[in-house]
Structure 1
Amino acid sequence: MKKILFICHGNICRSPMAEFIMKDMIKKAGLSDEFRISSAATSAEEIGNPVYPPARRMLTKHGIDCTGKTARQLKNADYDYYDLLIGMEQVNLRNMQRICGGDYGEKMHLLLEYAGRQGDIADPWYSGDFDAAWRDIEAGCQGLLKRLRERTDGTGKAESLCCD
């Protein structure tokens, strides 16, 4: 089973959108039994809060339910549990490395790497542009799923989970 954790600052906008977009793609591909997908925050400020209403509306608009999701904070033990820890922006990546004590297993990446692009997914909390966030997150998740399907060895564990 491949375990993926999406991470943003508060775990109420981008990372839950990535979590549920990816879960939806995996379900539609008939691969639900092969993946464990979740999301977390690098900060503690939103812990326990539900998905931010505009993000929830965007998911609902695309037929995706996120009922019951509440924000949680990334913890050091997540590094050993998950195969991939995927941040939405460079600041997330730095905070992820701080919380986890580095990236000694090369598990940490930015989501847009999987879309073949450099850069950050803009935080719609500040920009208000949930459509742009959706497009970027969807492109990253599509690229990630494609990469995961291409890069499995005979054991079912993904070989190289990042980009060439």
Structure 2
Amino acid sequence: MIRVLFVCLGNICRSPMAEGVFRKMAADEQLADQIEVDSAGTSDWHVGKPPHQGTLSKLTEYKVSSEGMAGRQLTKEDAEGFDYIIGMDAENIANIRERFEDADHQRIIRFLDLTSHQKDLPDPYFTGDFQETYDLVLEGCQSLLELIKKEEFAK
């Protein structure tokens, strides 16, 4: 089982959006039984809360399930439990590495580094532009799925 964790600041906008989109992509490729997907936030502000209404609206619009999603905070144990840890921006990456302290995790990736954009994924909590974020999430998730298929399933 390949385990993927998407991480943003509050775990209510970007990371649950990516979780839902990636989960759907894996299912569409008949890989749902081989890829497990989750999301977390570096802060504890929204623990136990559902995704932001803007994220839920986009997921509903594109027929992506948000079932079972609730905010949770990144834990040190996540370093051991996930094969790919995807941070939405440079600050998230720094916070992930700080939280994991000495954990030698090989696959901590800034999300849009998987694409040609090579920048931080805009946070729609602040920008209000959930469509831009969704479009970039879609592109990043497609690139991540291709990477995982190449690295994990082409062996």
| TM-score, L = length of structure 1 | 0.90
Tell me whether 1:42 sits opposite 2:42 in the alignment: yes
Q: CA shift at 1:89, angstroms?
A: 0.3
CA distance in 2 between counterparts of 1:102 and 1:124 reads: 32
Query: Superposition pairs for residues 1-150 of structure 1, below 5 Å?
Result: 1-102=1-102, 104-150=104-150
Q: Quick one: structure 1 residues 102 and 13, their matched pair in 2 at CA, closer, same or farther if it must change by over 3 Å? A: farther
Q: What letter is aligned with 2:26? A: I
Corresponding residue for 1:159?
none
Cα-Cα RMSD: 1.4
**Alpha-carbon displacement from aligned partner over 1:122-155 (angstroms, at most 9, x marks no partner):** 000000000110011111100000111112367x
User: What are the ranges of 5 or more consecutive residues in structure 1 without an aligned counterpart?
Assistant: 157-164
User: What are the ranges of 5 or more consecutive residues in structure 2 without an aligned counterpart?
Assistant: none
In 2, are the aligned partners of 1:115 and 1:142 still within 8 Å (CA)? no
| TM-score, L = length of structure 2 | 0.95
CA distance in 2 between counterparts of 1:105 and 1:145 reads: 19
Q: Which has the higher mean CA deviation after the structures are superposed, 24-33 or 113-122?
A: 113-122
Q: How many residues align?
A: 155
Q: What is the DSSP-based 3-state SS (H/G/I as helix, E as strand, rest coil) of the residue aligned with 1:145?
A: helix
**Could you tell me the percent identity over the aligned residues?**
32
Q: CA shift at 1:93, angstroms?
A: 0.5
CA distance in 2 between counterparts of 1:43 and 1:52 reads: 15
Q: What letter is aligned with 2:16? A: P
Q: What letter is aligned with 1:122? A: P
Q: Quick one: structure 1 residues 139 and 103, their matched pair in 2 at CA, closer, same or farther if it must change by over 3 Å? A: farther
